[in-house]
Amino acid sequence: MNEQVEAALQRASETAELNAFVALADATEPGTSGGPLAGVPIAVKDSIHVAGFPCTGGTPALRNWRPAADATVVRTLRAAGAVIVGKTGMHELSAGITSNNLAYGAVRNPHDPRLIAGGSSGGSAAAVAAGIVPVSLGADTAGSVRIPAALCGCVGFRPTTGRYPNDGVIPLSATRDTVGPITRTVADAALVDELITGLRIHPVELAGRRLGVPRAYFYDDLDAETAAVIDDALGRLSDAGAELVETRVEDLDELTRPHSLALTLHEWPRELGMHLARHRCPVTVEEVVDAMAGPVERKWLADQLWGDPVPVTHHVEILERARPALVARYADCISRDRLDALVLPTTRLPARPIGQDDEVLINGRQVGTLEAYLRNTDPTAFAGLPSITVPAGRAASGLPVGLSFDGLPGTDTTLLALAAAFERLDR
């Protein structure tokens, strides 16, 4: 076992109260001697298959399931020399944003263990933020990479849907799901992206770049501390020579709110059932539902199987009309104002205390927790667009705030380069 892996396992033991991991590697976990990630310890969300490890998906019925083979993304990183040091805690079946898991315990934020780490890839973000590993893998359906990365002060990258292979990943929605890295630096995220895709980013300067600031919707009713950090970040972009362009993505609420959750719910039981059968899991989707620990998450899935499911006609409408229309609205915005990317707060508020699963306080009023945290990450995920969150600074309370760069499908390397340029401003 190399020194890096030994140090990671020691650090994981020292920070066990964060509950970032559900399983840690045996001390004899092998690594490849060569490659760009030679000996680098990484962590993997517990919805992504890693041979030799359990894959619980954060749900009780899969506690003892051990898939036979690595997911392709894991196999790729292992071939580059990475050593998997553990599987990370998550929101049950990825269906939430707090990682307050009633079966395996809440994942805690390294900046304040009383607070949520975000979700659903909460353990992956906590493992990076706590200094256990420099790189972890998460999965993002509506913000599940970017939300915990922002709340824990990490970089979180959601690639264009389909850019990374999704085989060997417990699914929510085939239309929306993607694996994504959570890292300490943009350079580390870019390296993971290059290893998976073969595409390298080229450094850019911020001077002369046109960055859209979509105030309507994305900047509405921000927590006051978050707003102050984001305003400062925009000022730094402007001082670096970026041209900030006030802009707007039309019809966001109308094209997202009635359709986004419906798309996920319709696809969830079908995709989950097929995944378990394809990988010869001895547990059925019905048995998974019966044993689920989270009452809200269980009701969502049970309704699709035995209750009031999303109609097939609505699913067709989403795929044929609503989703393409949303992509077109983004394209219209970016083309009209000749933008390189959009910049926006990743979340409307920093981390809140564990246990506030139903509502959180924003500017003196109670707002649904899911809606509060998903508002800015969900539209891009619904549309299949790439997005990267980078630490923007600390709120007055000391908690991290994230700034996102969003773009059109296929602009992943541009977003990574812009995020890296923003990151360099703090050096």
pTM, 2 dp:
0.98
Distance (Å, whole) CA 128 – CA 106: 17
Q: How far apart are CA 380 and CA 142, in angstroms?
A: 8
Give me the catalytic one of 47, 94, 120, 404.
120
For residue 384, what are the CA distances in angstroms to 93, 132, 378?
20, 31, 10
Among residues 94, 124, 144, 260, which one is catalytic? 144
Each residue's pLDDT, cut to its tens digit, for the chain (427 residues) gives 689 999 999 999 999 999 999 999 986 666 666 899 999 999 999 999 999 999 999 999 999 999 999 999 999 999 999 999 999 999 999 999 999 999 999 999 999 999 999 999 999 999 999 999 999 999 999 999 999 999 999 999 999 999 999 999 999 999 999 999 999 999 999 999 999 999 999 999 999 999 999 999 999 999 999 999 999 999 999 999 999 999 999 999 999 999 999 999 999 999 999 999 999 999 999 999 999 999 999 999 999 999 999 999 999 999 999 999 999 999 999 999 999 999 999 999 999 999 999 999 999 999 999 999 999 999 999 999 999 999 999 999 999 999 999 999 999 999 999 999 999 997 6
| 8 Å CB contact between 388 and 186 | yes
Q: Which residues are CB-contacts of 9 (< 8 A; sequence separation ≥ 6)?
A: 24, 25, 27, 41, 85
Q: Quick check: is 87 catalytic?
A: no
CATH number at 140 reads 3.90.1300.10
Backbone angles phi, psi at 285, to 5 degrees: -65, -35
Rounded to an integer, what is the distance from CA 325 to the centroid of its chain?
24
94 noted as active-site residue? no
Residue 370 contacts residue 257 (beta carbons within 8 Å): no
How many separate domains does the chain show? 1
Q: Is 144 a catalytic residue?
A: yes
Contact in structure between 51 and 117 (CB atoms under 8 Å): no
Domain containing 292: what range? 3-424
Residues in a beta bridge with 273: none
Q: Choose, from 45, 99, 173, 260, the residue flagged as catalytic.
A: 45
